[in-house]
Amino acid sequence: MTQHQALVPQHSTLSLEIESIASGGDGIAHSEGLVVFTPRTAVGDRIIASVRVKGRLARGVIERIESNGPDRTTPECAHYVNDNCGGCQLQHITIAAQRDAKRKIISDSLRRIGKRDVSPPEIHAGANAWRYRRKLTLALRRDGSGSGGRWIAGLHAFDDPAKVFSLNDCPISDERLMLVWRELLAAQAHFPSAIQLRGAVRMLADSGNRAAFVLEGGRDWNSHEAFFAAVPSLDALWWMPENGARRLLGDRRTNSEPGASFAQVNPAIAAKLESFVIDSVMAHAPASAVDGYAGAGDVAVALAARGVRVVAIELDAEAAAWAASRLPAGSRTVTARVEDAIRNTLPADVVILNPPRTGVDARVTAALANAAPAVRAIVYVSCDPATLARDIARLPNWQIARLTAFDMFPQTAHVETVCELVPVMA
């Protein structure tokens, strides 16, 4: 038994002062050798918390706040307060303090995991901290027992992941998204037979109130045509049946813009980030570039228009086809996993990496670890500081030339980071 375990029982009540914000949004405090993580706290809060100890770490639950820290504010969303909505983590903290916390989360992760000593980066933000989301994914559950109850659409509670509450409004989401979700629920008689489903609505670019919908779950959906007809706001409908592949069931689009593939949820900040990435790449005067995890190919197309020969790698076939249709001769797409294709696309003057939250596969960093001087720079766009730091630790022959943050997700603990890496000079 360690000393702190002897001093602090496994279940305790402690007086804590919150010192910082962790990567998931919890407040961090120290007490008698323990590091205590407590959700919905702000720096400077003095709280009484019930604590559950596990090793040197502990999880706290607020019993009462004795005094508020200077960064605490009143959340705007009723669901955040009344339903413990887990969609946001930082609504109780001022937006300035949220952004300062995110800057520190990035530098702390790179120092602790990546072994790179960096200062908190500059952070770019948009004018709107609310109503910025253009995509919203909700859980669909039967309200009541059996298969005869009405469907509700909502999010999970942060302190009870099994619980789904009925969402009336999401103040960080575009109001048009909420209107589409209400249309969808009005057509619930045509949902596939199931106990639970999952749906994602995405507003289509430059299309006013037009949207795409991806529904996951169920085994048979014989009424999908009636459903599509009953939701006039939808331009495209996909279904991913239980244990099956995604398929397009309805399409009113006038072009082939992907509607089911990944897209940034905050278009204003996404545009700023995209311009920043393009400028970062062009600063190295490349003749060639690899765009890994290229999505629909917007960055690749912009670089090709500037005379760069681009290979865009994207696993999603629909997104890769859309990128290929817009790339000029001399550039191309590869429909594959980046880790399977990266070696065959090198050398290139600059490599762009924009992976999902899990970061890049170790085979990607292995291919790039000794790729200099043929590769002049790596521009890594990350949505998770921890996996960014892990991947940079795998690149000891590369140094951080510039680190910049983008507040893509206000009110949440998530942050986008652009890390520009150049070869270590001998």
Note the pLDDT tens digit of each residue in 102-116. 999 999 999 999 999
Are 117 and 160 members of one domain? no
**Tens-digit pLDDT profile for residues 200-244:** 999 987 657 889 999 999 999 999 999 999 999 999 999 999 989
Contact 118/107 with Cβ under 8 angstroms?
Answer: yes
Q: What is the mean pLDDT of residues 79-102?
A: 97
The residue length of the chain stands at 426
Two structure tokens written together for 19 = 């010192």
Are 160 and 297 members of one domain? no
pLDDT > 90? residue 274: yes
Are 142 and 222 members of one domain? yes
CA 79 to chain centre: 21
Contact 354/378 with Cβ under 8 angstroms?
Answer: no
Are 243 and 284 members of one domain? no
**Which among 198, 217, 251 is the end of a domain?**
251
Q: Where are the alpha helices (DSSP H) in 164-223?
A: 175-186
Are 214 and 160 members of one domain? yes
Q: Is residue 280 part of a domain?
A: yes
Q: Is residue 98 part of a domain?
A: no
| Percent of the chain at pLDDT exceeding 70 | 94
Are 121 and 212 members of one domain? no
CA dist 123 and 417 (Å) reads 9
Q: Is residue 258 part of a domain?
A: no
- The set of long-range contacts for 152-156, using a CB threshold of 8 Å and a minimum separation of 24, is 153/181, 153/184, 153/185, 153/199, 155/79, 155/85, 155/86, 155/87, 156/86
Q: In this structure, is the dihedral angle defined by the CA atoms of residues 303, 305, 307 and 312, taken in order, positive or negative?
A: positive
CA dist 136 and 85 (Å) reads 14
Which amino acid, one-letter code, is at 316? D
Are 25 and 114 members of one domain? no
pLDDT of residue 360: 98
pLDDT > 80? residue 251: yes
Are 284 and 405 members of one domain? yes
Q: How many CB atoms lie within 10 A of CB 267?
A: 16
Q: In this structure, is the dihedral angle defined by the CA atoms of residues 410, 413, 414 and 416, taken in order, positive or negative?
A: positive
CA dist 88 and 156 (Å) reads 11
pTM of structure: 0.92
Are 203 and 272 members of one domain? no
CB-based contacts of 338, cutoff 8 Å, min separation 6: 292, 293, 313, 315, 353, 355, 360, 361, 364
Strands 122-124 and 398-406: parallel
Are 271 and 411 members of one domain? yes
Q: Is residue 159 part of a domain?
A: yes
CA dist 280 and 272 (Å) reads 12
pLDDT of residue 206: 61
Q: What is the mean pLDDT of residues 309-331?
A: 96
CA 162 to chain centre: 21
Q: Which pLDDT band holds residue 4 (cuts at 50, 70, 90)?
A: very low
Are 411 and 277 members of one domain? yes
- For the domain that residue 180 is a member of, what is the CATH number? 2.40.50.1070
Write down the mean pLDDT value for the chain: 93
The CA-atom distances, in angstroms, between 57 and each of 21, 37, 52, 60, 205 are 15, 8, 9, 10, 45
Q: Which pLDDT band holds residue 6 (cuts at 50, 70, 90)?
A: very low
Question: Considering only 164-178, 204-218, 360-374, which range has the smallest mean pLDDT?
Answer: 204-218
- For the domain that residue 276 is a member of, what is the CATH number? 3.40.50.150
CB-based contacts of 1, cutoff 8 Å, min separation 6: none
Two structure tokens written together for 271 = 């545009």
| Bond prior to 347 in cis (omega within 30° of 0) | yes
Contact 405/102 with Cβ under 8 angstroms?
Answer: yes
- For the domain that residue 62 is a member of, what is the CATH number? 2.40.50.140
CB-based contacts of 122, cutoff 8 Å, min separation 6: 103, 404, 405
**Tens-digit pLDDT profile for residues 47-71:** 999 999 988 899 999 999 999 999 9
**Which among 251, 275, 299 is the end of a domain?**
251
Two structure tokens written together for 339 = 């880790």
Are 112 and 204 members of one domain? no
Q: Is residue 38 part of a domain?
A: yes
Contact 68/42 with Cβ under 8 angstroms?
Answer: yes
Phi and psi, residue 68, nearest 5°: -85, 140
Q: Is residue 386 part of a domain?
A: yes
The total number of structural domains that make up the chain: 3
Domain extent at residue 34: 3-71
CA dist 7 and 9 (Å) reads 7
